Chain A
């Protein structure tokens, strides 16, 4: 067997003449093509993750929904909350940028993989944080509904349809509905997110595990 490998080694070196030979121009053209490295993908996806939730505020219907918070008496809490979440996002972005900058193809393979995974983990923490914030907002809304005495004035569109139902019943069903929606939304978003990354980084994780295993 080892002979086989030795034989291959001998031939491997002889074989160089058979390899394709590209000209200077051909190589030069390649430099300007777009890279499809996973680091680039991670950067693009991460930027989207940081910006998309904030762009939601620009959607008109979303703005209208913000009115509900006012009516639920959550106005000040939401403002404080928004300032807080911007600070957190800012912290994560800086952290992400610093780690992203550390990634260098010149590093040895293990360090390179470790740094990519670390950069990724920063965004992962941000996503976990964002998803839990969705849940917190939903919980706050549920509490808001619970404490509110005039539920019909908030959801005026419900008034006509819901005249036969008592306010208490409506409150409870609203709270349950919001709870289920909140959990579903978080679960679906989290599911898509982790599936996407699981696929993108599967190879990286497998190879990193291979290298790490050697240390045991």
Chain B
């Protein structure tokens, strides 16, 4: 539990990527927490707690989670907006970031998972192990996603 509390950032980040409003975020966070709690007895110390958390959180978001009915259909951009924390405020940079973030949100579930692990600075080995694909395929897919993002940003 304490470990979960300390590593909750991972779960929050998955939630922001896969949901568009606060209620859904909370909903998904809760589901991931339940899954983590249920799976904890099976957690063996041979991998890091956080590695294990990535897997459970992504699996829940991609596969197990059923969106609740009260989900708002239209995108609630205000709560989604990517807040820039950079001290030096650069409007151009912020706009670029904003567009990029919105483009990422438009990706499919699997694509988001790859981007998420990439943003978390995971190597291709870990990405391939988490998703159950080969390393080569992870690289190929990543390149395709980058191309896709390019197309979204420059239609």
Contact partner, A37, options B16, B33, B60, Cβ 8 Å: B60
* A-side interface size class: 35 or more
Chain A residue nearest in CB terms to B93: A7
Cα-based distance from A33 to B64 in the complex (angstroms): 16
Query: Does B124 reach chain A (CB closer than 8 Å)?
Result: no
**A16 touching B9 by the CB < 8 A rule?**
yes
* Count: A-B pairs, CB below 8 Å: 164
0/1 interface trace, chain A 90-129, chain B, CB 8 Å (1 if under): 0000000000000011111111110010000000000000
> A8-B119, A36-B66 are known contacts. Are A107 and B31 too (CB-CB below 8 A)?
no
Q: Within 8 Å of chain B (Cβ to Cβ): is A44?
A: no
Is A111 within 8 A of B132, CB to CB? yes
Q: How far is the CB of B105 from chain A (nearest CB, A)?
A: 11
Which secondary structure characterizes the binding site on chain B?
Answer: helix
A2–B59 Cα distance when bound, in Å, is 27
Q: Count the B residues whose beta carbon is within 8 Å of the partner chain — how many?
A: 67
Task: Convert A164-202 into 0s and 1s, putting 1 for each residue whose CB lies closer than 8 angstroms to a CB of B.
Answer: 000000000000000000000000000000000000100
Stretch of A53-61, A147-155, A207-215 lying at the B interface: A207-215
Q: Within 8 Å of chain A (Cβ to Cβ): is B73? A: no
User: Does A15 have its Cβ within 8 Å of any Cβ on chain B?
Assistant: yes
Q: Is A20 an interface residue (CB 8 A)?
A: yes
User: Of A1, A17, A19, A112, which is in contact with the most chain B CB atoms at under 10 Å from its CB?
Assistant: A1
A interface SS class: helix
In this complex, what residue of B is CB-closest to A3? B96
Residues A27 and B1 in contact, CB atoms below 8 Å apart: yes
- Find the B residue at minimum CB distance from A37: B64
Q: How far is the CB of B78 from chain A (nearest CB, A)?
A: 14
Taking a contact as CB atoms closer than 8 A, the residue among A36, A207, A215 that contacts B110 in the complex is: A207
9 contacts between A and B (CB under 8 A): A4-B97, A11-B97, A12-B120, A13-B121, A36-B66, A41-B66, A109-B130, A111-B132, A214-B141
A binding-site residues for B, Cβ under 8 Å: 1-2, 4-5, 7-9, 11-24, 27-28, 30-31, 33, 35-39, 41, 104-113, 116, 200, 203-204, 206-207, 210-211, 214-215
